[in-house]
Amino acid sequence: MHPGESQNKTIVVTNLSNREFLERYAHPGRVGLSGGVALVDKVICRAQRHLNADEAWGAWSHAFTFQGVRADGHHWVIESDLQFHRKHIQLGVQENRVAKYFDEELYTTLAIMDFGLNQAQTDLLVREALELVASREKYSLRELFGTLIALRHPGLRSRENLLARERSMFCSAFVQHLFRKAGFDLTPGVDHKHTTPEDISRTTIPHTTYLLQREVATSKLNELKTNLRRRVRVRLRRIKRRLAS
């Protein structure tokens, strides 16, 4: 048992839609985790297999924080993300309505982590997040590749990201940065720009996790992972045959 693990608990929630789950458990300062079926989700989940002795894929591909309900009556999230809209691209720290995560075909798994922040800690976290929105902090694909390298070479994880750059960070590095500002180190011993969504989900900082579990979605995700693994193995065998010949 890891230190602090006994202070953590997971509450499994069933029979709710994404919308119902988020509207019930999303509160300012809480952390959201998502997993999905897009190619980038698969790549990130597969890369996180190096965190597991059995090389099982990670469950989470994205992390973000909740801002709260605003004057428009909608709950908003703050996140570092890549979004491609018609004639418009968002790359970096941004504000989005939580309705973005209502799509159950795109976001097949969700969790919300409650660290019991007090009002002052929550205000500090949101204030720092908004400062990064205003300063147009970029999403760093370069740093993401640096983290993928460190996952394969664990000795690098405590060091500065080899591909670090200023004024940029990917999703889970953004969340870790915010919590360190609020006095919480979610991943001790890991450089914040090496922090993965899976690292955040496993933090030993006392918290409660609300986990939305849908059997159909989980089954579908496992099927997609199995098919992808099979395609990767076939491709590797073809490459080996070509090299041998």
Query: What is the pLDDT tens value at each position of the chain, 245 positions in all?
Result: 344 445 799 999 999 999 999 999 999 999 999 999 888 899 999 999 999 999 999 999 999 999 999 999 999 999 999 766 555 566 789 999 999 999 999 999 999 999 999 999 999 999 999 999 999 888 878 888 889 899 999 999 999 988 888 888 899 999 999 999 999 999 999 998 999 999 999 999 999 999 998 764 444 555 555 666 666 666 666 666 666 66
Contact between 192 and 173 (Cβ < 8 Å): yes
d(CA 194, CA 33): 17
Superfamily in which the 5-215 domain is placed by CATH: endopeptidase domain like (from Nostoc punctiforme) (3.90.1720.10)
Contact between 104 and 18 (Cβ < 8 Å): yes
What is the structure's pLDDT at 5? Answer: 46
What is the structure's pLDDT at 245? Answer: 62
Q: Which amino acid is at 167?
A: R
Lookup: tokens for 167: 């004024």
Cα separation of the two ends of the chain: 50
